[in-house]
């Protein structure tokens, strides 16, 4: 019996030790002359935060994120957003033109982008549009993954743009049926949902479940580019060797640490509650609009809405300076827009415009 690292990591990378950076050496000293850094601070950086190369995985941030997400620190890898983690996973596991990656459209576009860049084989198993929302087709995923010996399955929960969370029992079932495939659960929006994280499913029996988390959404730090992969510790150690030498810039580490103190976390929590209230209010109001065909229930910080005259709706909002996401090029969503939940005032403005439209069309 192998473990998930044996099943998914590319054969040619098994003994790969990666770049040995100036900060990965376990030496101590007072005068550091080993990395060709400048001996002086830049005037733009008077405190010298950026003069030296940073720690590849700053231990304090790693510990704090692990505590936040409820996992051991050695099971967590920090990167430049979940985007980098998606790319790293595909590169480290897929041999070009041989290995398969599965995802479930309509869904976040980076799974397809990273797969294309690696020249790996894409396999799309569409979501099913049911009365309960856009749902994964577990049986079809299992069949396809077994048939192709897929390396990775990206599941988005809550789904972007569908908004629906995948029940943990369904993720567990996939993990049991597909022991040689890594099931990657992208939880970029889980803070806005009621359900627990798939991190709670991770164990030595379930070493093929991995979870993506980010500070970009609920924690309001999209431009700091801090995201994490949580997975089996051996897999994390291997991916760390494949990652760029200094993936987490020091100013971003400081921003992230600031976001993880009690006061900042309390504020984040109260904003999450506000988003959830506004989501409900906006959904109820939109459902009463004559041009609205359907508003999908959402566990995230956006609503997916099907409209009669979606172009007209999009243009009306845009003319007033409100930019929403046009989803009409996505499979199954030919009449849909995705509206991010804004402040109560911004949401009022959206509703005002939409309801004024009703009288003129």
By the rule CB under 6 A, 82 interacts with ligand PLP: yes
Q: Which residue is nearest to ligand PLP (CB)?
A: 81
Considering only the stretches 64-72, 79-87, 237-245, 343-351, report the one whose residues sit in contact with ligand PLP under the rule CB under 6 A: 79-87
Instruction: Let me know: does 238 contact 301? Beta carbons within 8 Å.
Output: no
Alpha helices in 187-261 (DSSP H): 233-242, 250-259
Selected binder of ligand PLP within 188, 190, 259, 275 (CB under 6 A): 188
User: Contacts with ligand PLP in 83-102 (CB under 6 A)?
Assistant: 83
By the rule CB under 6 A, 216 interacts with ligand PLP: yes
Pairing of strands 100-103, 76-80: unpaired
Nearer to ligand PLP, 82 or 283 (CB): 82
Selected binder of ligand PLP within 222, 274, 318, 320 (CB under 6 A): 222
Nearer to ligand PLP, 114 or 357 (CB): 114
Kindly write out the interface string for residues 121-150 of this chain, putting x where it contacts ligand PLP by CB under 6 A and - elsewhere.
------------------------------
Kindly state the tokens that stand for 282: 């906006």
Could you tell me the strand order of the sheet in which 209-214 lies?
76-80, 226-230, 209-214, 182-186, 152-156, 100-103, 121-124
Selected binder of ligand PLP within 87, 99, 135, 186 (CB under 6 A): 186
Q: How far is the CB of 109 from ligand PLP (least distance, A)?
A: 9
Nearer to ligand PLP, 289 or 338 (CB): 338
Nearer to ligand PLP, 192 or 307 (CB): 192
Question: Angle at which helices 262-287 and 250-259 pack, to 10 degrees?
Answer: 80
3-class SS at 188? Answer: coil
By the rule CB under 6 A, 214 interacts with ligand PLP: yes
Pairing of strands 209-214, 226-230: antiparallel
3-class SS at 213? Answer: strand
Instruction: Let me know: does 324 contact 342? Beta carbons within 8 Å.
Output: no
Q: How far is the CB of 247 from ligand PLP (least distance, A)?
A: 12
DSSP H/E element including 227: strand 226-230
Nearer to ligand PLP, 222 or 237 (CB): 222
Q: How far is the CB of 108 from ligand PLP (least distance, A)?
A: 4
Give CA torsion, residues 217, 220, 222, 228, to 10 deg.
-60
Selected binder of ligand PLP within 56, 133, 227, 247 (CB under 6 A): 227
Other CB atoms within 10 A of residue 243 CB: 24
By the rule CB under 6 A, 105 interacts with ligand PLP: no
Query: Rg (Cα) of the chain, in Å, rounded?
Result: 22
The residues that touch ligand PLP, with contacts defined as CB under 6 A, are 81-83, 108, 156, 160, 186, 188, 214, 216, 222, 227
């Amino acid at each position: 019996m192998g473990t998930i690292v044996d099943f998914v990591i590319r054969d040619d990378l098994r003994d790969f030790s990666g770049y040995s950076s100036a900060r990965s050496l376990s030496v101590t000293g007072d005068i550091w002359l080993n990395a060709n850094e400048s001996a002086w601070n830049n005037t733009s950086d008077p405190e010298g935060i950026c003069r030296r190369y940073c720690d590849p995985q700053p231990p304090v941030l790693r510990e704090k994120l692990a505590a936040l997400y409820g996992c051991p620190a050695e099971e967590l890898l920090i990167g430049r957003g979940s985007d980098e983690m998606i790319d790293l996973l595909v590169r480290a596991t897929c041999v070009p033109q041989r290995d398969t990656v599965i995802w479930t459209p309509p869904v976040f576009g980076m799974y397809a982008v990273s797969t294309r860049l690696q020249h790996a084989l894409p396999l799309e198993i569409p979501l099913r549009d049911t009365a309960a929302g856009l749902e994964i087709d577990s049986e079809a995923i299992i069949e396809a993954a077994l048939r192709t010996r897929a390396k990775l399955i990206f599941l988005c929960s809550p789904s972007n743009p569908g908004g629906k969370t995948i029940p943990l029992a369904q993720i567990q079932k996939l993990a049991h049926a597909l022991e040689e495939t890594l099931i990657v659960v992208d939880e970029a929006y889980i803070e806005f949902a009621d359900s627990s994280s798939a991190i709670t499913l991770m164990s030595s029996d379930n070493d093929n479940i991995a979870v993506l988390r980010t500070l970009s959404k609920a924690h309001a730090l999209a431009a700091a580019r801090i995201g994490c992969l949580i997975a089996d510790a051996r897999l994390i150690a291997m991916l760390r060797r494949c990652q760029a030498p200094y993936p987490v810039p020091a100013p971003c580490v400081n921003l992230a640490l600031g976001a993880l103190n009690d006061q900042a976390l309390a504020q984040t929590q109260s904003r999450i509650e506000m988003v959830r209230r506004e989501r409900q209010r906006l959904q109820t109001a939109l459902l009463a609009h004559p041009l609205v065909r359907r508003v999908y229930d959402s566990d995230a910080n956006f609503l997916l809405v099907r409209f009669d005259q979606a172009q007209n709706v999009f243009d009306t909002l845009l003319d007033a300076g409100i930019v929403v996401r046009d989803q009409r090029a996505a499979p199954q969503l030919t009449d849909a827009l995705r509206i991010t939940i804004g402040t109560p005032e911004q949401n009022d403005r959206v509703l005002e415009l939409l309801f004024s439209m009703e009288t003129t069309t």
